[in-house]
Amino acid sequence: MWDIFKKKPKAIGDNELMQLAFDRLDTTSLQMLAAAKGHKSASEGIVPYFHSERAASLLEWSQGIEFAKNPHMYNRKQLYRTYDNAYRDLHLTGIIGTRITSLQNSKFKVTRELRQDTGAEDLFKNMWFRGYIRDMAMSIFDGYTLAEITEFNDQLTTVSIGNKNLQIREISEISRVNKSHVRPELNKWFAYDYDTASAGFDYTAAPDNLYYIGIGERKDLGLMERITPIALAKRYAQATWGSFNDKLAVPFRTVTMNGQDVKRERKLAEILDKMGAAGWGILHPGEELKFIEVSKSDVHKCFAELMAYCDSQMSISVLHQTGTTNEKSYAGSAAVHQSVAEEVHAADRAFLEYNVNTQLMPRLLAHGYPLHGFKFERDDKTQIPLLDQIKIDDTLMRHYHVSPEYVANKYDVPIEFITEKSSTGGGEAVLKPVNNITDVVEQVAAKKTGKMYYAMPAMYSQKPMSAIMRTEYPVTMASDNTPEFKGLGGLIQKIFDGKAQKIDPDLWQYINDALIEVANEGVGVDLLSVDYTKPDNQLLQFMRDNIFLFSSAKTWQQMREMSQLLYDENGQVRSESEFKRLAKGTHNMYVQYLSVERNTALASGQMFQMWQDFAANTDAYPNLRYETAGDKRVRPSHQELEGIVLPFNDSFWDTYWPQNDWGCRCRVTQTRDKATDKATIVQPTISPIFANNVGKSGIIFKEDAHPYFDVTRSQMNDIKAFTNDKLKI
């Protein structure tokens, strides 16, 4: 990577090299100095060894600790193999991922002399730094971690720092050195994980120390030293449970022969073997096989409770609590859980800040990054979403005057668009106070172009709804039987000409008809023909009204997003051809979402009718059983509900009545079986969108949960007014 230098500088001492790096030489000089010394790369020198994948034992774990701490060995290979075995636990990797993701998404700033520099911050806004944060966070669990700067960009990059434009060769990758090949007590990495101490490479010697970054304390073995035996115990419980089911849960079959006939015995064995996986045996006359059956019907609880206990202990070790993982958090403890989570996150951020400033930053300097005198710091400023900020300011304006300057700065709105000037008695021009922030922000576009007033430039708006829904909807489940909207071309032209309405009636009719059609199929009646004057039809009326309102909100969101495409990211008006191309793409995405919503409306209609049928048979079948589809596609959170039996009127069904997610295939059956002890039920967290019993509420799309309804108060008033007009027709 250093072949661009024609002249090789003379060799210098290790101390001199580091001193020059910290004294901030120019980019070329530092890179030439590093090249002059040569660099032994672990990423190229390590020879990986593939160990067999088998369950680790507690003996291997304890021996691994002994080998890792033994001064004659200092070899962590066996210990890390047990760690990797423990990482197969989904609960463990999930809660570790929670900590890592929170740290990766935390905000930071880079300052010099207390002044923030966005150009310096941009040097850290890339994937290599995100990966470095992950490796640093994993050192909390694995113990001391060694990272290596392994790749640089081929081309120079121009950066603007401190009002100066500079060229540097940016880092493109920092890799974690294979942990089994590092012996931090010796300051060495090894090509083979079984090498003797004398065979390693010292990563603290210059110039290697400019490429290697040590993270954590050298003797630290990480939290996994204590977590691993818990994870292994859970794995043993799972295996024992499986063995129990294999031997005792499935009925054993026997055949007693009339006599000893080898040929017949083989035939019977062949028949029994083809009849399924249950155990079987062939007995001769006078032989008897006795089984000691388990007297309790809930013997599985001993396994389930042990596994739940292990999950709880792992959560305490990783998150310092249990309430923010897959357990349900109640109001009395939610604040405590949130406080603990924030404290853990604050500690992780402090660790990151310290490591970057003391370990990473000096090496960036040595490789030509113009960061002399800069500090990497946490950014504790609270970022309030745009809609929430508007709501706050709307509340303030009911009691106080808000200056136009505040609005201009807060919402990046040119001050001349906010209000006209008026003269005081002395003739001095002043700005009128602002009384409604929503109107100000929404009218900016109208004053600039005369087009549809709520078609704000993207810089003034919230995140596009289609981007939000991409993370919410499983678009892969979209079906191809969704009807086509015939008026798309005319609608797009109206938006471009500034003649469209907030909620286009034709687009609304298309969406509403598509949803009503499948809901009718689900409930078995025509929601548009029901006599709603009869009290018995009240829930059906709720369903019809909910679909009408949802169609209005969806239409409003699509119209808003399509109209925002009139402007590019710089606030400039797009050409007609580019706008039409992008608007058509946005419409197609909303049609895909409509397909998912039709699936939901159909299933919800079916579950609505099922609840009504069950209500008529509670005398004969007082309880309900939750059942999954029983295949590999079942979600883990739904699997936890499998087999739960509770009374028809139990509040459990208010939340967990299917559907419980997009495309949920779970069902409920009526039964006379004994109800499950509620104290043993682990209630998983499900999306608020689905925490509902459509059979009792008639609601398919919850107004307080679905993203389409995430609008301001005045916008919701417009949506409801349009819906009410449609309901009157």
Asked if the model's pLDDT at residue 678 lies above 60, the reply is yes
Nearest to 221 by CA among 75, 70, 68, 71: 68
Using DSSP, state whether 282 is helix, strand or coil.
Answer: strand
- The pLDDT, as a whole number, for residue 104 is 92
Is residue 148 classed exposed, middle or buried when 0-12, 13-18 and 19+ CB atoms within 10 A define those classes?
Answer: buried
Element housing 110 (H / E):
strand 108-112
- The pLDDT, as a whole number, for residue 440 is 53
- The pLDDT, as a whole number, for residue 454 is 37
- For the chain, give the mean pLDDT: 81
The span from the CA of 560 to the CA of 454, in Å, is 7
Q: Are 494 and 500 in contact (CB under 8 A)?
A: yes
For residue 713 the two structure tokens come to: 């108060």
- The pLDDT, as a whole number, for residue 328 is 47
Confidence category of residue 581, pLDDT binned at 50, 70, 90: very high
The span from the CA of 17 to the CA of 423, in Å, is 67
- The per-residue pLDDT for range 226-253, each reduced to its tens digit, is 999 999 999 888 877 776 665 665 666 7
- The pLDDT, as a whole number, for residue 37 is 45
- The pLDDT, as a whole number, for residue 146 is 97
- The per-residue pLDDT for range 57-76, each reduced to its tens digit, is 999 999 999 999 999 889 99
505-523 helix and 576-615 helix, angle to the nearest 10 degrees: 30
- The pLDDT, as a whole number, for residue 281 is 74
The span from the CA of 443 to the CA of 452, in Å, is 9
Asked if the model's pLDDT at residue 619 lies above 50, the reply is yes
Strand 253-256 and strand 280-283: the pairing is parallel
| Average pLDDT value for residue range 252-281 | 75
Nearest to 501 by CA among 562, 459, 549: 562
The sign of the dihedral angle between the CA atoms of 24, 26, 31, 37 is negative
- The per-residue pLDDT for range 502-553, each reduced to its tens digit, is 999 999 999 999 999 999 999 999 999 999 988 889 999 999 999 999 999 9
| Average pLDDT value for residue range 579-604 | 92
Q: What is the DSSP string of 118-129?
A: HHHHHTT-SHHH
Asked if the model's pLDDT at residue 647 lies above 80, the reply is yes
Q: Count the Cβ atoms, other than its own, within 10 Å of residue 98.
A: 18
Q: Which residues 6+ apart lie within 8 Å of 680 measured at CB?
A: 298, 301, 304, 305
Using DSSP, state whether 671 is helix, strand or coil.
Answer: strand
The span from the CA of 38 to the CA of 108, in Å, is 34
- The pLDDT, as a whole number, for residue 142 is 97
Most confident stretch, 116-120, 337-341, 388-392: 116-120
Q: Which residues 6+ apart lie within 8 Å of 463 measured at CB?
A: none
| Average pLDDT value for residue range 216-232 | 95
- The pLDDT, as a whole number, for residue 427 is 43
Most confident stretch, 12-21, 38-47, 171-180: 171-180
- The pLDDT, as a whole number, for residue 671 is 95
Asked if the model's pLDDT at residue 12 lies above 60, the reply is no
Q: Which residues 6+ apart lie within 8 Å of 230 measured at CB?
A: 310, 313, 314, 317
Which of 466-470, 553-557, 591-595 shows the lowest per-residue confidence on average (mean pLDDT)?
466-470
Which of 402-411, 425-434, 616-625 shows the lowest per-residue confidence on average (mean pLDDT)?
425-434
Q: How far is CA 102 from CA 133, 349, 379, in A?
A: 11, 10, 14
Which residue matches tokens 């392994």? Answer: 150
Asked if the model's pLDDT at residue 446 lies above 80, the reply is no
Nearest to 453 by CA among 468, 438, 435, 436: 438
Which residue matches tokens 């636990």? Answer: 89
Confidence category of residue 257, pLDDT binned at 50, 70, 90: confident
Q: Which residues 6+ apart lie within 8 Å of 598 measured at CB?
A: 479, 482, 514, 515, 517, 518
- The pLDDT, as a whole number, for residue 162 is 78
How far, rounded to the nearest angstrom, does the alpha carbon of residue 659 sit from its chain's CA centroid?
A: 21
Element housing 687 (H / E):
none
| Average pLDDT value for residue range 159-180 | 90
| Average pLDDT value for residue range 632-645 | 93
- The per-residue pLDDT for range 602-615, each reduced to its tens digit, is 999 999 999 999 99
Which of 247-251, 277-281, 447-451, 463-467 shows the lowest per-residue confidence on average (mean pLDDT)?
447-451
Q: Which residues 6+ apart lie within 8 Å of 48 measured at CB?
A: 178
- The pLDDT, as a whole number, for residue 30 is 43
Asked if the model's pLDDT at residue 646 lies above 90, the reply is yes
Bridge partner residues of 111 (DSSP):
116, 375
Nearest to 527 by CA among 554, 551, 547: 547
- The pLDDT, as a whole number, for residue 3 is 35
Most confident stretch, 246-255, 265-274, 655-664: 655-664
Percent of the chain topping pLDDT 70: 76
For residue 456 the two structure tokens come to: 């704000």
| Average pLDDT value for residue range 433-441 | 54
Q: Are 100 and 139 in contact (CB under 8 A)?
A: no
Residue 567 is given by DSSP the state B
Confidence category of residue 720, pLDDT binned at 50, 70, 90: very high
Q: Which residues 6+ apart lie within 8 Å of 365 measured at CB?
A: 21, 22, 24, 30, 371, 372
- The pLDDT, as a whole number, for residue 241 is 76
The sign of the dihedral angle between the CA atoms of 116, 117, 118, 122 is negative
Asked if the model's pLDDT at residue 402 lies above 80, the reply is no
For residue 146 the two structure tokens come to: 């060694």
Q: Which residues 6+ apart lie within 8 Å of 49 measured at CB?
A: 192, 193
The span from the CA of 586 to the CA of 228, in Å, is 48
Asked if the model's pLDDT at residue 414 lies above 80, the reply is no
Q: Are 559 and 504 in contact (CB under 8 A)?
A: yes
Which residue matches tokens 């907030």? Answer: 502
More confident residue, 685 or 16: 685
Nearest to 63 by CA among 79, 52, 75: 79
Nearest to 642 by CA among 619, 666, 613, 620: 666
Q: Are 530 and 540 in contact (CB under 8 A)?
A: yes
